[in-house]
Structure 1
Amino acid sequence: MTSSVQTATAAPVPPSQWQLFAATFYRNKGAVLGLLVLLAMVITALLAPWLAPHDPYQLFTGKEQLPPFFLEGGDRAFWLGTDDAGRDTLSRVIYGARYSLFIGLCATFIAMVAGVSLGLSAAFWPKVWGKGVMLVNDILMSYPSLLLAIIIAAILGPSMTNTIITIALVCMPPFIRLTRATAMVELQRDYFTASRIMGAGTLRLLFITILPNCMAPLIVQATMVFSSAILEAGAIGFLGFGVQPPDAEWGAMLGTARQYIQSNVWLAIWPGLAIFLAALSINLTGDGLRDALDPKLKQVS
């Protein structure tokens, strides 16, 4: 008597949250390209001492305002030409990534930490404290952000530290509004009521119980603020209120180049292109994160 062997078909293992996130993000080709460009800029900034062909502060006498090497009058030793003082433009653009990305990252981090803290507290104590926080927040948001940044930077004085503080203050209101709106919804959930009945402390309720459930929109907001921070740092540097020459920062390089815009437009093109690519890559990455963090779009094709 032979027994038939029945082959049990194993049920397919459902994809994990990370797999769904990665698959959704990968489907957005623009987001993948933006992330690659952003990673390339970060790596370039970290490896600037080894990638830059020259010292960004070195003056090459007699080599002032050279065009790129592919144009007439260019020099192959200076691929993107030189600035008004004879410094290598490519080296300064590479080192400029350090200043611009560092300013944007620090300002975004400070704005996010302060904005999330104020937004959570405004949602948790909505009567007096919450109304006061949102009143100040609405006043700040009703003022043009770039103009407000210029005013604050002019008051604090030109320096990289003051630029970071200025941009953090300007970028904080969107975090406050978004955190408060998201937390107000989470405060009505059963899990929050249960945690409160079980005796969880205020800090635990705010930062361990509620905050993790608010992180998805905050991460997307952080990418958008990061992009805005780089643009505002460039604008502040362009007007002379940010990082001061001879330090190589993209906005400061643009500010120096404006007086030579007619005689040598290349001085403005390269740092302007760097700012454009950085902001665009961050925005594309943020779009991909928004899609990947949306539960309705997490479907593996």
Structure 2
Amino acid sequence: MSQTTTPATAASLTPPKQWQQFVSAFMKNRGAVIGLLVLIASIIIALFAPLIAPHNPYELFQGKEQLPPVFMEGGDSTFLLGTDDAGRDTLSRVLYGARYSLFIGLCATTLSLLIGVSLGLMAAFWPKLLGKFIMLINDILMSYPSLLLAIIIAAILGPSMTNTILTIALVCLPPFIRLTRATAMVELQRDYVTASRVMGAGTMRLLFVTILPNCMAPLIVQATMVFSSAILEAGAIGFLGFGVQPPDAEWGAMLGTARQYIQSNVWLAIFPGVAIFISALAINLTGDGLRDALDPKLKEVS
């Protein structure tokens, strides 16, 4: 007797596609899912801050300076998280701060990724002269602590959001260069690259069409980690006064303004600090989930 195969049976016998395996592996990591949800919520808050914020973040409420949060004695229900030293609503400024901090982190990470990947591919493709020069510069950048280097560069360039983005992008270059070079050098030894060369593929096609797509998995994970570091470094630079300047509502700048009141009104520093912590933690958890889902060695064999 011939055994008939129903559509349901055929579907069950069909191996899952690569993207389905990725989603399944990612969803099994509860921490990564929670981190992704928090990150999505942060992005939504940043995009719709003008609609969500109860007050204008720059509006000064005279006679309402340094009000405590509503759940503390002396709080005002109009200002759920209290007000800062100038009488501005803390909740509104924290919500608007997501726009600055996430924008700085995203722009710095993207710029660093583009430049770092290009330099890493060139270092792998021309290892003798250009590669040695690129890796020498890379080693010099890595010899300094990243935060110290960021502070030095920010102090030289001057305080502004553009300079903060450029500073963090430069500091975050070394991991991308080193990772891209190492991954590309492995891929250059594979047969498909040799076949592309025999078929007459040009240098740019080899680098950015043939090799780069096969290097993207570790680079995506690295980008999430750099995104988290960029937010932390932007906060540190802003705290020291070299980043976004008041009265703009950036979390690091808010911390810098609140440091002189840290003993008397600690809540002024708590809320922007918690915002930085939650954002960085969410991105790190998402990055861990991406790493586990993209690494074939960490996938469960069914």
The TM-score normalised by the length of structure 1 is 0.97
Query: In structure 2, what is the equivalent of residue 82 of structure 1?
Result: 83
Task: Evaluate the alpha carbon distance shift between residue 6 and residue 185 of structure 1 in structure 2; reply closer, same or farther with a 3 A threshold.
Answer: closer
1:175 aligns to 2:179 (yes or no): no
Q: Offset of 1:136 from its aligned partner?
A: 0.7
CA distance in 1, matches of 2:169, 2:178: 15
CA distance in 1, matches of 2:217, 2:140: 26
Query: In structure 1, what is the equivalent of residue 204 of structure 2?
Result: 203
Q: Offset of 1:300 from its aligned partner?
A: 7.5
CA distance in 2, matches of 1:300, 1:245: 53
Q: Offset of 1:6 from its aligned partner?
A: 4.2
Q: Offset of 1:5 from its aligned partner?
A: 7.0
Q: Offset of 1:298 from its aligned partner?
A: 3.3
Secondary structure (helix, strand or coil) at the match of 2:172 reads helix
CA distance in 2, matches of 1:225, 1:8: 49
Query: Once the two structures are superposed, what CA deviation does each residue of 1:28-49 show, in whole Å capped at 9, x if it has no partner?
Result: 0000000000000000000000
Q: Offset of 1:299 from its aligned partner?
A: 3.8
CA distance in 2, matches of 1:283, 1:192: 34
1:8 aligns to 2:9 (yes or no): no
Query: Once the two structures are superposed, what CA deviation does each residue of 1:3-25 show, in whole Å capped at 9, x if it has no partner?
Result: x7743364411101111000100
What CA RMSD, in Å, does the superposition of the two structures yield over aligned residues?
1.1
Q: Which runs of 5+ in 1 are unaligned?
A: none
Q: Is the contact made by 1:20 and 1:299 (CA closer than 8 Å) also made in structure 2?
A: no
Counterpart residue type for residue 18 of structure 1: W
Q: Is the contact made by 1:24 and 1:297 (CA closer than 8 Å) also made in structure 2?
A: no
Query: In structure 1, what is the equivalent of residue 24 of structure 2?
Result: 23
1:150 aligns to 2:147 (yes or no): no
CA distance in 2, matches of 1:291, 1:34: 14
Secondary structure (helix, strand or coil) at the match of 2:184 reads helix
CA distance in 1, matches of 2:94, 2:206: 46
CA distance in 2, matches of 1:110, 1:296: 30
CA distance in 2, matches of 1:139, 1:47: 41
Q: Which runs of 5+ in 2 are unaligned?
A: none
Query: Once the two structures are superposed, what CA deviation does each residue of 1:132-154 show, in whole Å capped at 9, x if it has no partner?
Result: 00011011101100000000000
Identity among equivalent positions (%) equals 82
Task: Evaluate the alpha carbon distance shift between residue 55 and residue 294 of structure 1 in structure 2; reply closer, same or farther with a 3 A threshold.
Answer: same
Query: In structure 2, what is the equivalent of residue 97 of structure 1?
Result: 98
1:165 aligns to 2:171 (yes or no): no
What aligned pairs does 1:112-127 form with structure 2 within 5 A after superposition? 112-127=113-128
CA distance in 2, matches of 1:6, 1:133: 63
Query: In structure 1, what is the equivalent of residue 298 of structure 2?
Result: 297
Counterpart residue type for residue 36 of structure 1: L
Query: In structure 1, what is the equivalent of residue 138 of structure 2?
Result: 137
CA distance in 2, matches of 1:5, 1:144: 70
**How many pairs are equivalent?**
298
Query: In structure 2, what is the equivalent of residue 54 of structure 1?
Result: 55
Q: Offset of 1:86 from its aligned partner?
A: 0.2
Secondary structure (helix, strand or coil) at the match of 1:240 reads coil
The TM-score normalised by the length of structure 2 is 0.97
Counterpart residue type for residue 269 of structure 2: A
Secondary structure (helix, strand or coil) at the match of 1:287 reads helix
Query: Once the two structures are superposed, what CA deviation does each residue of 1:231-283 show, in whole Å capped at 9, x if it has no partner?
Result: 00000000000000000000000000000001100000000000000000000
Q: Is the contact made by 1:192 and 1:210 (CA closer than 8 Å) also made in structure 2?
A: yes
CA distance in 2, matches of 1:283, 1:24: 17
